């Protein structure tokens, strides 16, 4: 799976405004600080977590992982997150329609919608 530079940047913004994630097998992450010495079969800095225990050991523990990596949600992860946040389907469809006219990928549109929700939540606190 490939992630665009824009998607990675938006994921980092989501992380900065409070996107929490639970480390699970099957998730993609981006190595912010280049601490992984192994090369990536996907693209530079992007890794797929096959085993949470193994990945934690490779990077030096959970704290190191959370500090140095950002979660790159898949399309399915985004849809699940939005559903858990009770985002109405018409809002998601509206975002896709807007993103389509701007030439954005479906995943980038979902990332931007998630970011708006997170920013709104942060502003309300």
Q: Which residue has 């931007």 as its token pair?
A: 112
What's the CA gap between 54 and 60, in Å, rounded?
10
In a domain, 29, yes or no: no
Q: What percent of the chain has pLDDT over 90?
A: 50
In a domain, 65, yes or no: no
Residue 35 confidence (pLDDT): 82
Per-residue confidence at 66, pLDDT binned at 50, 70, 90? confident
In a domain, 4, yes or no: no
In a domain, 59, yes or no: no
The residue-averaged pLDDT of 55-70 equals 78
Q: Is residue 85 within 8 Å of 117, Cβ to Cβ? A: yes
Give me the helices (H) in 35-105, please.
52-59, 62-68, 75-84, 89-101
Number of domains in the chain: 1
Domain holding 90, by residue range, is 74-125
Give ∠ CA 77-83-86 in degrees, rounded to 5. 145
The residue-averaged pLDDT of 78-95 equals 93
In a domain, 68, yes or no: no
In a domain, 5, yes or no: no
Q: What percent of the chain has pLDDT over 70?
A: 96
In a domain, 121, yes or no: yes
């Amino acid at each position: 799976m490939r992630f665009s530079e824009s998607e990675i940047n938006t994921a980092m913004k989501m992380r900065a405004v409070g996107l929490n994630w639970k480390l699970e097998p099957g998730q993609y992450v981006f190595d912010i600080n280049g601490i992984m010495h192994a090369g990536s079969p996907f693209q530079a800095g992007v890794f797929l977590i096959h085993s949470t225990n193994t990945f934690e050991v490779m990077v030096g523990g959970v704290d190191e992982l959370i500090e140095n990596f950002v979660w790159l949600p898949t399309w399915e992860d985004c849809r699940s997150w939005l559903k858990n946040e009770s985002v109405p389907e018409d809002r998601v469809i509206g975002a896709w329609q807007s993103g389509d006219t701007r030439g954005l990928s479906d995943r980038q549109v979902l990332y931007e919608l998630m970011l708006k929700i997170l920013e709104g939540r942060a502003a309300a606190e």
